[in-house]
Amino acid sequence: MRHRTGRDLERTWRTSGEGTTERGPGHHGRVIVEFGEFEIDTARFELRHRGEPCHIEPQVFDVLRYLAEHRDRVVPKEELLDNIWGDRFVSESALTSRIKAARQAVGDDGRAQRVISTTHGRGYRFVATVVTRDGEAGAPAAARAGSPVLPADAYGLTFLGRSHDLQRVEKALAARGS
């Protein structure tokens, strides 16, 4: 595998549409990945907690973003090393420390593994429940595509402790539709 420099990786990521599968390959727009009280804004290279930017190192952000974009599978350690550090030689401990920092940034840890799960001997997986939306329109991707927006219970989902917020969102969406 050819190793890429950080600039090559960033250029490839920005132009490939990676992580924007709901909007089609090659789309260059802004995508926001929401999970719990956090958001990853791919265009602003920003992690936010309750809407407020969190200060994290660029490589920690890149690890978080890469895992969130590939959340459908376990990402091997070698793949993370290739895609985050490119052709620079770094030890596996550099990756381990960035994973630890990413977990801390999102209120997770190696025991709970509510956001980033370790598959020993294999790699890491982003396991938090995610909603992806277009940052420009501010609406969930399914809603922009013309798909009906249904209450959470229509999907068989349960949101603990968020029923009041969810009712407000559903009312607002219903009001927009009429």
pLDDT of residue 162: 57
Q: In which residue ranges of the chain is CATH 1.10.10.10 found?
A: 6-126
Angle 114-120-124 from CA coordinates, rounded to 5°: 50
pLDDT of residue 140: 45
Class of domain 6-126: mainly alpha
- pLDDT tens, 29-82? 678 999 999 999 999 999 999 999 999 999 999 999 999 999 999 999 999 999
Q: Rounded to whole angstroms, how far apart are CA atoms 27 and 18?
A: 9
- Location of structure tokens 């350690």: 77
Token reading at 143: 């809603």
